Structure 1
Amino acid sequence: MKENEKNEKIVNDVAVWDLVDWDLDFETFEWFLHLCEINNRHLDEGNQWTVWPDWPMDMPEDAKEEHHQAWLDLLQFIHENEQISVGQNLLRVNGDHGTVFFLEFLGVDIGWGNISLSENPPHSVVKILFEKYGNHPSCKWVPDHLQSLCLEPNSSGIIPTSLNTILLMLIHEVNIWDLATDYHWAVCKWCGDSSFNSGRRFPPNVIHRVVCVSCGNDAPLTN
């Protein structure tokens, strides 16, 4: 490395560390975001973040090297999006239809926790779902067991890519509420027990009779 390039690197490194907020908790997602942001702050607006922070511990250390760019893309998206804010390990997302979602980040190898929902979608979302499903009554109400949604990372296994998708879903809202209201009321035709099952059924005001898991397990084997 030429002497002037070496000196320039030293100056840039010093400048970066002067930007650090040392009051942040190093073990949090907020620190991870902050560290990546200050290392890429020198880039012109609109340019993709490409500089991985030189921090040999915590989340920057735990992230797989082959996923570094995916993490930088995600963190840049979060930093530049006015509908997302981060405090410690909690991401707050302000949806397009007025819902405020909270997402707890659990780690770069784990992902995030469940998403809590209220029992009623916003009226504007209900209107959209009514148009899609012909005024199906399930569109208006979220049963208890679906008020805590577990949305796993996609099959790629790349946490930042999956989290980016989840954040977009929360911002736009409709698909999240669509998932949470995708159910029907079913009654076991053998024992009479009733429960919510996955998937909307039509017509909606008809009792859908099924064989419950217990009765299915107790059924005699036939050739």
Structure 2
Amino acid sequence: MPTNSTKFRKLGDEKMTEKKPNEMIPPEEMIDHNNANFLQIENVMTIFVAYNQSNIQDGNDWDTWPEWELCLSDFNSDIHFEMDDDSEEIRALRSQWLTVMQFIHDSEYIQVDGYKISVQGQHGNFFKFDICFDPEVWTDEPMDEFVHEIQDKYGTRFQKSIPFNCPSTIGHSLGELWVCPAHVPKYGGQQTYFTETWMCLSKEHGDTFPSALHSLLCLCIDDTKIWADACQRDVDAVE
């Protein structure tokens, strides 16, 4: 469990706590279609929670894809709507998104706030990064700096400017020129010489974004291999 013993709140569940047992809240009542910023992973999570209330109550794997609301987001348009003639690749991509969204929702080590995902590792170190759905990247740069709020007669719209300066980066709690945490085999206590307050972790070639995001979250929670790999990169840079 996280060392601070604080259980992260369950995203999108606030309204679910107000209902009677086994009562489902219609998705349209849980989702603020007109004013929520669906560029933010927090509000996208609310969409997935709204459609998987029964699975959450019963402790089952999430398997219900939102009917249309992902059109409001920057999700890949190929997966917005379930179609009878969807390819196996598209079906697999939806399944991966459901899996990683449930993982984020259920994990006591993960917190989501706006664009930002924060992870507390099993050994007490912290990691953070913002999520962008188009292009599909994680970044240590604050997404708020790239997104502008626009008010019109229909509600609130959000428009972003890209590109990012530092895609595929995540921040961490050790600061720059850090000493490797003592629990890390082989490298524990080792001084680094070319490290920053962030590290670059790109998704593997051919990997999908939701699958890569899931792997990154597991790496941060593990809180060990991520440091060993970074230390080895630092050693290679010195040599």
TM-score, normalised to structure 2, is: 0.62
Deviation at 1:74, TM superposition (A): 0.2
CA 1:36–1:108 in structure 2 vs 1: closer, same or farther (change >3 Å)? farther
Partner of 2:106: 80
Q: Secondary structure at the match of 2:74?
A: helix
Deviation at 1:167, TM superposition (A): 0.4
- Say if 1:105 and 1:111, in contact at 8 Å, map to a contact too: yes
Partner of 1:169: 219
Deviation at 1:147, TM superposition (A): 4.2
Partner Cα separation in structure 1 for residue 75 and residue 94 of structure 2: 9
Partner Cα separation in structure 1 for residue 129 and residue 78 of structure 2: 19
The equivalent position to 1:142 in structure 2, one of 168, 192, 201, is 192
Does residue 19 (structure 1) correspond to residue 61 (structure 2)? The answer is no
The equivalent position to 1:57 in structure 2, one of 54, 69, 72, is 72
Partner Cα separation in structure 2 for residue 81 and residue 121 of structure 1: 28
Does residue 184 (structure 1) correspond to residue 235 (structure 2)? The answer is yes
Corresponding letter in the other structure for 2:218: L
CA 1:109–1:73 in structure 2 vs 1: closer, same or farther (change >3 Å)? farther
Partner Cα separation in structure 2 for residue 24 and residue 57 of structure 1: 9
Deviation at 1:171, TM superposition (A): 0.7
- Say if 2:121 and 2:221, in contact at 8 Å, map to a contact too: yes
- CA deviation string 1:173-218 (max 9, x = no partner): 1011112211338xxxxxxxxx624xxxxxxxxxxxxxxxxxxxxx
- Say if 1:83 and 1:95, in contact at 8 Å, map to a contact too: yes
Deviation at 1:161, TM superposition (A): 0.6
The equivalent position to 1:29 in structure 2, one of 41, 64, 76, is 41
Aligned length: 169
Partner of 2:59: 46
Partner Cα separation in structure 1 for residue 42 and residue 238 of structure 2: 38
Corresponding letter in the other structure for 1:196: V
The unaligned stretches of length 5 or more in structure 2 are 1-22, 80-89, 140-168
Deviation at 1:33, TM superposition (A): 1.1
Considering only CA atoms, is the larger Rg found in Structure 1 or Structure 2? 1
- CA deviation string 1:16-70 (max 9, x = no partner): 2112256531221111111111110122432111111121231345464431110
RMSD: 2.7
Q: Secondary structure at the match of 2:61?
A: coil
Partner of 1:159: 209
CA 1:155–1:173 in structure 2 vs 1: closer, same or farther (change >3 Å)? same
- Say if 1:84 and 1:94, in contact at 8 Å, map to a contact too: yes
Structure 1 stretches of 4+ moved >4 Å: none
Q: Percent identity?
A: 20
CA 1:25–1:167 in structure 2 vs 1: closer, same or farther (change >3 Å)? same
